[in-house]
Amino acid sequence: MRIGILGSGLMGAKLGTIFARAGHDVVFSYSRSTKKLEKLARDSGPTASAGTPAQAAQNADAVLVAVHWSRIDDLLKQAGGLARTVAITCSLPMNADDSALIVAHTSSGAEELAKKAPRARIVSAFGTVPSEVLFSVFERRRRKNRPSLLYSGDDAKAKRVAAKLISDVGFEPIDAGPLRIARYTEPFTLAVAQLAYEGDRGPALAYRFEWSRESKG
């Protein structure tokens, strides 16, 4: 697949690197430093390059939206609205100092993004784990019991693309249902972040859902 990375910070840089290592074509974009984007592309191998958000979105099978909530409008302007594009968002609707969600319970960042980019095919994914765990999940992707990763969306085809990428990174994709479920998964991330950054076991943390045999009836 050809994947555009819109926001090449902690999440975008790591996920883009992993997507490239998994064999996808990746375009890193939306950093304040062109040099950083070029280095990320070099370090990620021959299938990666650096570009503008518009270049990253052009002909992309999927884009990853990985910017601070305050940058969303600017990003969409630069990327060109993302019409018909599968847009996987890990961006949480946090306030300026990242201390609280500014959208929650009755809506979500993913749903607000869908309103801002009504022709994009939005999937909420990757936002429920800290960036610190991504490389180790990828390195251990051949293990039997993979960590789970929740995703949600309203477009079945876009969700299949997201599930493939989630699986390529090394997680077990768990379909949490329609996009509105992001209003529950986004706050869940704050509980994960509390464990990751305030707990005493470090931030390289993932989670796993298990169904007991009895649940099948």
Ligand X SMILES: NC(=O)c1ccc[n+]([C@@H]2O[C@H](COP(=O)([O-])OP(=O)(O)OC[C@H]3O[C@@H](n4cnc5c(N)ncnc54)[C@H](OP(=O)(O)O)[C@@H]3O)[C@@H](O)[C@H]2O)c1
Question: Which residues sit at the interface with ligand X, rule CB under 6 A?
Answer: 7-12, 30-33, 36, 66-69, 71, 90-92, 94, 127, 130-131, 189
Q: Is 110 helix (H, G, I), strand (E, B) or coil?
A: helix
Q: Which is nearer to ligand X, 71 or 180 (CB)?
A: 71
Q: Is 152 helix (H, G, I), strand (E, B) or coil?
A: strand
Query: Smallest distance from the beta carbon of 216 to ligand X, in angstroms?
Result: 32
Query: Smallest distance from the beta carbon of 65 to ligand X, in angstroms?
Result: 8
Q: Show the 3-state SS of 49-88.
A: EECCHHHHHCCCCEEEECCCHHHHHHHHHHHCCCCCCEEE
Q: Which is nearer to ligand X, 142 or 191 (CB)?
A: 191
CA pair distance 121, 84, nearest whole angstrom = 6
Q: Which is nearer to ligand X, 105 or 157 (CB)?
A: 105
Q: Which is nearer to ligand X, 157 or 199 (CB)?
A: 199
Query: Smallest distance from the beta carbon of 5 to ligand X, in angstroms?
Result: 9
Q: Which is nearer to ligand X, 86 or 193 (CB)?
A: 193
Query: Smallest distance from the beta carbon of 7 to ligand X, in angstroms?
Result: 4
Query: Smallest distance from the beta carbon of 203 to ligand X, in angstroms?
Result: 8
Q: Using an 8 Å Cβ cutoff, are 157 and 121 in contact?
A: yes
In eight-state DSSP terms, residue 27 is E
Residue least distant from ligand X (Cβ): 9
Q: Using an 8 Å Cβ cutoff, are 109 and 186 in contact?
A: yes
What is the secondary structure of 172-197 as a DSSP string?
EEEE--SGGGHHHHHHHHHHHHHHHH
